[in-house]
Amino acid sequence: WVDCAGPLPLPFQTDLQIEDRLRYFMCGPSDPGLMGTGAPSRGSTGPTGRPPPSGIGVDGGTAPGGAVQGDDDDGNGASHTVLEGRLVNLDVTSPAATVALTLMYLKTNNSAVAARFTIPDTHFALDYVRPDFLMQRMLGRSLIMWDAIQPTQEWVDEQLPPLIRGPLSDIMALSQAEDFDPNQIDIEALAQAHCNAVAGALLAIGMRFAGSANRSAQQLLHQYCLYFLKAKGKAPDVAAGAAAAIGTIDKQGLESCLSLAALGLSLVMAGTGHLTTLKLLRGLRKRLSPVSTQSAAMSGIPNAAFSGISGLTYGNHMAVSMSIGFLFLGGGAYTFATNNAAIAALLVSLFPRFPQTPTENRCHLQAFRHLYVIAAEPRCVTAIDIDTRSPVYVPLEVQLRPPSPALPPPPPFTWTAPCLLPERQAVDSVRIGGPRYWAQKVQGKQLSALYQHRTLFVKRKAGALPYAD
């Protein structure tokens, strides 16, 4: 499906009604009033696009755990070997359908399909959608609307419905209002929806600007890492008991959102070894100390050291460790691409559902975490002095292509080789600057050869000293 990303569906796929089936398995019935809730309604359709069996939408109701009654008339979509029944468990089907629909329309900027990734905008609708599903839908919708992603606070706010928009502190402060009614407003549901939706948007920003070292994206993601870290510091501990946790978001939920923000930050700065990012990730890593062996044994919980009784899980260790590894990808010689295959590999390897223990493969096969190597590519350019045949420092002026033919090209920026260049399709030319080496401009086929061999031969002017001296 990644290779087919573009004007979908293809002619031979129209009768399959793939989008309708995936939307059904992702959100449930298609009543606009209940879109995204998983609740059935009168006149709703089944996964094949036809009216569901009798009982759905009238008095059918939903099954426990978010299951809705599905369509198996004529045996279409149902197994003839295993008695599956007439229930569709959204807890099982929704993540897979979300990823499948995302990859089908990856980078197509198809607003009609993106609208299917519904974020509930009412208190009632929030009761029917798990918070982590909101994260996945936000991520999928953003990856479809690829060109609309911007590394700004305004873009993040625009992705959130008014119900969960604004700082987390404002949402938590609703419980202090005089007219607050706990029977009408679920503060915990609002807080969880806000944090997970924001985390999905941040991971989308990380994928959109992966390997670019974009300063605006780096600052925004760094800011949100501190945002989630501060919110977690205010959350009650597990030892405080159930009374203290009423109306608040738990530490483990905030830690998952923090992990996704850190992963997004590491994607943007992949291979750069950025010092400020390293300091942040090292600080996060120092917190990840599992409980002692004695405490784990006393708890009586299997794999208690990574089971979350300390507020952290094995998945949190994995996310932060992957972030540090991405920051020094390939020893600083590699970074991430953003072509369709690369984004698909990153989506699978960074799927936002991390395990509780090292042996857990219940929700995501952990071997898939290694698929990030498909997105990695070498882009480190080294300058070689033709007289001494040794690497040297040389300032390079990089001219990027304009976003569209109607716009003027952006001003060139200067990096010092050895350095990571932007992706080939984004660069128009590379020029050797500075007064110590003879100028030369590389573009066209020569630029493509530079990206292939990643070595630039330079000649120092007579009487000039190397920049290292």
Q: What pLDDT was estimated at residue 80?
A: 65
Geometric angle at alpha carbon 69, from 67 and 71, rounded to 5°: 135
Q: What pLDDT was estimated at residue 344?
A: 96
Q: What pLDDT was estimated at residue 314?
A: 86
Q: What pLDDT was estimated at residue 303?
A: 46
Give how far the C-alpha of residue 173 lies from the chain's centroid of Cα atoms, to the nearest Å. 28
* Sequence letter at residue 372: Y
Q: What pLDDT was estimated at residue 289?
A: 57
Per-residue pLDDT tens for 185-238?
A: 778 888 899 999 999 999 999 999 999 999 999 999 999 999 999 888 887 665
Q: Which of 418, 430, 339, 420 is nearest to 385 (CA)?
A: 418
Q: What pLDDT was estimated at residue 75?
A: 46
Geometric angle at alpha carbon 199, from 193 and 203, rounded to 5°: 150
- Which of the residues in the chain have pLDDT under 70? 1-15, 29-80, 82-87, 172-184, 236-248, 288-311
Spell out the SS3 assignment of the chain.
CCCCCCCCCCHHHHHHCHHHHHHHHHHCCCCHHHCCCCCCCCCCCCCCCCCCCCCCCCCCCCECCCEEECCCHHHCCCCCCCCCCCEEEHHHHHHHHHHHHHHHCCCCCCHHHHCCCCCCCCHHHHCCCCHHHHHHHHHHHHHHCHHHCCCCHHHHHHHCCHHHCCCHHHHHHHHHCCCCCCCCCCHHHHHHHHHHHHHHHHHHHHHHCCCCCCHHHHHHHHHHHHHHHHHHHHCCCHHHCHHHHCCCCCHHHHHHHHHHHHHHHHHHCCCCCCHHHHHHHHHHHHHCCCCCHHHHHHHCCCCHHHECCCCCEHHHHHHHHHHHHHHCHHHHCEEECCCHHHHHHHHHHCCCCCCCCCCCCCCCCHHHHHHHHHCEEECEEEEEECCCCCEECEEEEEEECCCCCCCCCCCCEEEEECEECCCHHHEEEEEECCCCECCCEEECHHHHHHHHHCEEEECECCCCCCCCC
Instruction: Give the chain's mean pLDDT.
Output: 80
Q: What pLDDT was estimated at residue 336?
A: 97
Per-residue pLDDT tens for 114-142?
A: 999 988 888 888 888 899 999 999 999 99
Please, which residues have CB within 8 angstroms of residue 442's CB and are 6 or more apart in sequence? Answer: 429, 430, 431, 450, 456
Q: Which of 303, 305, 323, 311 is nearest to 287 (CA)?
A: 311
Please, which residues have CB within 8 angstroms of residue 345's CB and are 6 or more apart in sequence? Answer: 371, 372, 373, 374, 375
Per-residue pLDDT tens for 170-189?
A: 776 666 665 666 666 778 88
Q: What pLDDT was estimated at residue 154?
A: 95
Q: Dihedral of CA 386/387/391/393: which sign?
A: negative
**Gap between the Cα atoms of 428 and 399, Å rounded:** 6
Q: What pLDDT was estimated at residue 78?
A: 59
Q: What are the beta bridge partners of residue 430?
A: 398, 442
